[in-house]
Amino acid sequence: MSVKAVLRFVNYKITRDPDGEKTWRARCVSGDEEECGAESMVFGSDDPPADWMAEHTATTGHQRFQRIYEDYALVEKAE
């Protein structure tokens, strides 16, 4: 059995796209049978939407959230 595939090791550099917006949103996943499912709006920010979560906990008693972070990446071939 011969292996014909030639493995080429090319390095790629992945960086955050400074032109892309960083966004956070939070989703309430509290509840045993069914998740609450309440979602915050999307916040363009470096930090998770702590105020929204605190307010939701204060009004509902729910204490478990999924924090969803999105940003953009650039992939470049390293020289």
**SS3 state at 16:** strand
Cα 76 to Cα 9: distance, rounded to the nearest angstrom: 14
By the rule CB under 5 A, 22 interacts with Zn ion: no
Q: Which letter does DSSP use for residue 54 in this model?
A: H
The least CB distance from residue 42 to Zn ion, in Å, is 18
The least CB distance from residue 37 to Zn ion, in Å, is 7
Cα 66 to Cα 30: distance, rounded to the nearest angstrom: 9
Name which position in 38, 43, 48, 68 contacts Zn ion (CB under 5 A).
38
Q: Where do contacts with Zn ion occur on this chain (CB under 5 A)?
A: 28, 30, 36, 38, 60, 62
